Structure 1
Amino acid sequence: MRNQLQQEVGRLAAPVVPHFSAGRARVRLGVNTAIHDDTAAELESFARPLWGLAPLAAGKGEVPHAELWQRGLAAGSDPGHPEYWGEPGDRDQRIVEMAAIGFALALAPETFWDPLTGPERDRLARWLLSALPRETADNNWHFFPVLIGLGLDRVGVAYDHEPIAARLARLETFWLGDGWYSDGPTERRDYYVPWAMHFYGLLYARLTGKGDHFRERAARFALDFRHWFADDGAAVPYGRSLTYRWAQAAFWGALPFAGVDVLPWGEVKGYLLRHLRWWQGRPVTGPDGLLSIGYGYPQPALAEQYNAPGSPYWSLKAFLPLALPAEHPFWTAQEEPAPELPAVSAQSHPGAVLMRTDGDVTLLAGRQHHAWVRHGAEKYAKFAYSSRFGFSLPNGRLGLEQGAYDSMLALSDDGGAHYRVREEPMDPHVTADTVRSSWRPWPDVEITTWLTAAPPWHLRRHRIRTARALHTAEGAFAVDRDAGTDRETGTGYAWASAPTGFTGVRDLDGLREGEVIDCLPGTNVLARRTALPMLTGQLPPGEHWLRSAVLGTRNGPEAEAAWRRPPTLGDGT
């Protein structure tokens, strides 16, 4: 398996090679539409493959075309070269990519430092040093100067460590306890916790021999994080930067790298390898073999404002264990299947309740939000996120087909033309099986929502206090309709089934009408065309209660049997 992963890194990096510039410092993988400038985007495409190539080199694997990166490091850091990357400014994307270079120097100086001449090393060191005093975003970015410093330490470049200590001290303020960080002074506790905060902390602990608290925290986090992965290796798609794809499992590779043996090595190995296998064969590359912007397929609408063409190569973080020798117990252990976990896991720090149904995972969400990123409401504030069904983004705001309102209660005050949804949950509270939060789609409309795990169902209860008349539309999950669907609707229910799964929604009061919407193509993060069961109704001004039960599971007799046995008003509602 180690040899296969070494080959996989080479396979992923190979399509990048034809896009190197003449001086080897710039890599143009496409037209940059990110908020940072084109030079930073071309540096990003150059640097991000190093997240996989550096562990490959450190583990004595052969780095294909290593000379391209060696020549690029020399040219890009040379102010006199036409392909110079430029001085980093405050909050500059260059700082992010300089961290990848620092990581490469820290892990594999024999490949990325030693081949340079003395003047080339001096220029690269001076360029990296220029990032250390720069202002960064007040979140996981504080780790980037730390990683740059780790590279400088490894190659013997002196610098003032006091600003690095200040970075580490600021990062400590984001520690929440119980294994969890926030990504800065925000409500975000998404995949940046495992693939950034913990990942970088574990790098620091391993490479400095300090920071045992990073190991201890990661050990606690692992006990929660394993609930985010389905038995087949799929992670729950949730939050921003999903185009980083299998970086979702990078945490599992960082544990053995830093010697954190909280779980049996075979179990840790299973989480990582099943996840990587889950991605195999999915259409995540373009015709040229380059990784695309998107999640389950090329989907540019999923991109954040900071995603340039090279952004998806952040996914190579998952290959960190390649830095370990073949005799490490992570590699020699027999891969173990996912252990039997409790059906429900309540996690207060991320504001989530996770439930397992036939090996799939559904995350019930009620705390996090991020209004700045594109489609922030859909990435954070839907009611449920599924390892089987993913979630959907709008392709416009006119009508239900464009909105693709899966796992949302959409509200319209103009007769069903335009809808609003939950964007910013307030006053979150998590109990053993329920997430509660409040939200205001208009100043004169207040909604409190309770989401309760009742595997294989989840239950929703909404108390709506409105000063205006509303049209309502509440969605189940969206199911892939490309291979055909069976569907049925009536007063109080709607369901749709396809080879990929069964999903339906029941009105526990039997009042709303059921329908199945064919959403516009390219809205769901896993399936290109979907069908979405929904309940629709109308509310006059006043106080109202909406209660529903949603089922989402693999198709088959068990799904049909579950649908015939819906929960009642006494089951958590």
Structure 2
Amino acid sequence: TNWLLFAAMNEAFLLSIGEEWDPVRIDLAVRKINEWYVGDGWYADGPHFHFDYYGAYVIHPFLVEILEVLVATNAKFNSLHAKELLEQATKRMQRFGESLERMIGPDGSYPPIGRSLTYRTAVFQPLGLLAWRKKLPKSLSEAQVRSATVAAQRAVFRSPTNFDAKGYLTLGFTGHMPALADWYSNAGSMYLTAESLLALGLPAADPYWASSGQPWTMRRAFGGEAFAKDYYVDY
């Protein structure tokens, strides 16, 4: 499951700072996650596919960032070809990002599917990471992604009940909805939503922020404008 990546990320951090690390944890996580790839940019969270956003919350970004560390440190073990796997994982995350962008409705809403919805806009972490790293797929312009994800942020955080009297995030999705919380959820967990803000790592003058807004796929489609045809990938 995605928990394998939590352990692997810890080891990748130790490797990145020159400390003793356990390659077995990284090797196991990378191999199992790739084993659970189901196609067209989607991973299963374990041997069975769950239709939820864990590919966005954990799997895509963690896998890419772990492999980036392996490539940067030139770590070699167990015939794991990190450079090739990183290229593959990045392409898969780009494809997943295309699917995420298409899920954002004309008003910024998106499907409330699967568990852990209380992580709110963390679902857009892959788009934020790709934008920050300047690796968005050619099919998605920076202005298009910014416009879509800002609309989603506004749709989710419109209600003041997203925050309690002290200004802390509440358990919920588009407001205080404690019934949506999972047994492993707590007030601190809600801040995973901040992962959707990775593009804030870009300076204000960057084209991602400075360019004029553009309509995203759903807005084009339901506004009667031409929009790109979707497709499947076999990588």
CA deviation string 1:134-193 (max 9, x = no partner) = xxxxx1111112221232233221223233112111111110111111111123031112
Choose which of 162, 185, 191 in structure 1 pairs with 2:24. Answer: 162
Residue aligned with 1:214, SS: helix
1:286 aligns with 2:164: yes
1:271 aligns with 2:145: no
Aligned to 2:196: 318
Q: CA deviation at 1:309?
A: 2.6
Q: CA deviation at 1:297?
A: 2.2
Aligned to 1:251: 126
CA distance in 2, matches of 1:324, 1:336: 19
Residue aligned with 2:187, SS: coil
Q: CA deviation at 1:328?
A: 4.4
> Does the CA-based 8 Å contact 1:203-1:258 persist in structure 2?
no
Q: CA deviation at 1:295?
A: 1.6
> Does the CA-based 8 Å contact 1:233-1:275 persist in structure 2?
yes
CA distance in 2, matches of 1:194, 1:309: 20
CA distance in 2, matches of 1:335, 1:207: 34
1:336 aligns with 2:214: yes
> Does the CA-based 8 Å contact 2:102-2:217 persist in structure 1?
no
Cα gap change, 1:242 to 1:260, in 2 (>3 Å):
same
Residue aligned with 2:194, SS: helix
The amino acid of 2:22's aligned partner reads D
Q: CA deviation at 1:340?
A: 5.4
Cα gap change, 1:195 to 1:322, in 2 (>3 Å):
same
Residue aligned with 1:279, SS: helix
Aligned to 2:14: 152
1:176 aligns with 2:54: no
Q: CA deviation at 1:207?
A: 4.7
**What stretches of structure 1 of length at least 5 have no aligned partner?**
1-138, 344-355, 359-573
**What stretches of structure 2 of length at least 5 have no aligned partner?**
72-82, 225-235
| Runs of 4+ with >6 A deviation | none
Q: Rg bigger for which structure?
A: 1
Q: CA deviation at 1:251?
A: 2.1
The amino acid of 2:14's aligned partner reads L
Correspondence 1:14-29 to 2 at 5 A = none
CA distance in 1, matches of 2:91, 2:155: 29
Residue aligned with 2:198, SS: helix
> Does the CA-based 8 Å contact 2:124-2:196 persist in structure 1?
yes
The amino acid of 1:201's aligned partner reads L
After superposition, the CA RMSD in angstroms is 2.6
CA deviation string 1:240-299 (max 9, x = no partner) = 111111112222201123432212111122222221222343121111211111122222
CA distance in 1, matches of 2:206, 2:28: 34
Q: CA deviation at 1:236?
A: 1.4
Cα gap change, 1:327 to 1:153, in 2 (>3 Å):
farther
> Does the CA-based 8 Å contact 1:249-1:275 persist in structure 2?
no
Residue aligned with 1:176, SS: strand
Residue aligned with 1:291, SS: coil
> Does the CA-based 8 Å contact 1:203-1:254 persist in structure 2?
no
Cα gap change, 1:215 to 1:259, in 2 (>3 Å):
farther
Choose which of 166, 169, 188 in structure 1 pairs with 2:50. Answer: 188
CA deviation string 1:490-540 (max 9, x = no partner) = xxxxxxxxxxxxxxxxxxxxxxxxxxxxxxxxxxxxxxxxxxxxxxxxxxx
Choose which of 285, 292, 296 in structure 1 pairs with 2:174. Answer: 296
Aligned to 1:213: 88
CA deviation string 1:296-322 (max 9, x = no partner) = 222222111111232211111112223
Cα gap change, 1:229 to 1:319, in 2 (>3 Å):
same
Q: CA deviation at 1:341?
A: 7.2
Aligned to 1:261: 136
Q: CA deviation at 1:197?
A: 1.4
> Does the CA-based 8 Å contact 2:8-2:26 persist in structure 1?
yes
> Does the CA-based 8 Å contact 2:117-2:173 persist in structure 1?
yes
Residue aligned with 2:217, SS: coil
> Does the CA-based 8 Å contact 2:105-2:218 persist in structure 1?
no
Residue aligned with 1:312, SS: helix
CA distance in 2, matches of 1:203, 1:231: 31
The amino acid of 2:187's aligned partner reads P
> Does the CA-based 8 Å contact 1:178-1:220 persist in structure 2?
yes
Correspondence 1:18-57 to 2 at 5 A = none
Cα gap change, 1:302 to 1:167, in 2 (>3 Å):
same
Cα gap change, 1:184 to 1:333, in 2 (>3 Å):
farther
Q: CA deviation at 1:201?
A: 2.5
Residue aligned with 1:337, SS: coil
The amino acid of 1:195's aligned partner reads Y
Q: CA deviation at 1:330?
A: 2.6
Higher alpha-carbon deviation: 171-180 or 193-202: 193-202
CA distance in 2, matches of 1:324, 1:203: 18
Question: Normalising by the residue count of structure 1, what TM-score does the alignment of the two structures yield?
Answer: 0.34
Cα gap change, 1:164 to 1:182, in 2 (>3 Å):
same
Residue aligned with 1:310, SS: helix
**Percent identity (aligned):** 28
> Does the CA-based 8 Å contact 1:233-1:277 persist in structure 2?
yes
Greater helix share, 1 or 2?
Answer: 2
Aligned to 2:59: 197
Correspondence 1:78-477 to 2 at 5 A = 139-209=1-71, 210=83, 211-262=86-137, 263-282=140-159, 283-326=161-204, 328-339=206-217
